[in-house]
Amino acid sequence: MRMSGNPSSSRDWMSEVISVMEKILSVGLKRFMSFMQGYPVMVKKASLAMNFSILLLINGNLTYHFYMGLMDNYMNFSYIIPGVLAGMALPGHNQKPRQDLDWIRKKGVHGIISLTEDSLKFSLIKEFGFEYLHVPVVDFTPPSLDQVRECCRFISLLEKAGKATVVHCLAGMGRTGTILACYLVYKGKPGHQAIYQVRKMRQGSIQGESQEKCVLSYEKSLLNND
């Protein structure tokens, strides 16, 4: 399935779909996630399936090939600020984590921010010499402002040292896109422009109203010197 017509209209349509999905899920999501805490593997599979469905709506056949490992854009990796900040999906999802971390290192990355509820293996992080920050955020929800500030400080410190950071969640879309946009705001870009830029560069990013509000709330906090 592929959206046709004006690309801007398609993006607006997609944003409305995600917003409606979020509102439908919001009432029962916390109860569902609480029940599913005893089934972590099932939670990850359900979350990935939901992300896959959104990507499929946006990008049709290309999304299928991406998840089958046939696209060049491996692990949904791309730089949002060249040499400074990138986003990606969960390392180790399609093959052994060591191979993915080696691949990331060869892309010039020195720092990793994990937004998944489980951290990466610290032994592997140490083996490859990455700077590492684990900021657990529930899928399809926004990080708190304190978590955003923590991530931006981490990225900024590495940027000043001439080192690049990659941010990941499960599919590299919702939570990841939110932090990427927040860092653009940190660098001085207006919130709405930051959201637009991340979505343009990484389709499917920033899933729903709550994650959009997170970016705009962070912008407001910077303007108020909070």
Per the annotation, the verdict on 169 as an active-site residue is: yes
Q: What is the DSSP letter of 53?
A: H
Please choose, from the candidates 73, 60, 48, the residue with its C-alpha nearest in 3D space to the C-alpha of residue 4.
60
User: What are the backbone angles phi and psi of residue 59, rounded to the nearest 5°?
Assistant: -125, 10
What is the rounded (10 degree) CA torsion for 21, 27, 29, 34?
A: 180
* Rounded distance between C-alpha atoms, residue 204 and residue 60, angstroms: 12
**Edge to edge, what strands does the sheet with 109-114 contain?**
78-81, 85-88, 164-168, 109-114, 131-134
**Helix 209-223 vs helix 145-160: crossing angle, to nearest 10:** 70
Q: What is the DSSP letter of 130?
A: -
In a 3-state reduction of DSSP, which class is residue 139? coil
Active-site option among 151, 169, 182, 214 = 169
Please choose, from the candidates 87, 181, 104, the residue with its C-alpha nearest in 3D space to the C-alpha of residue 143.
181
Chain-centroid distance, C-alpha 121: 19
CA distance to 93, 152, 173, 177, per residue, from 89 (Å): 8, 19, 8, 11
Q: Give me the active site residues, please.
A: 169
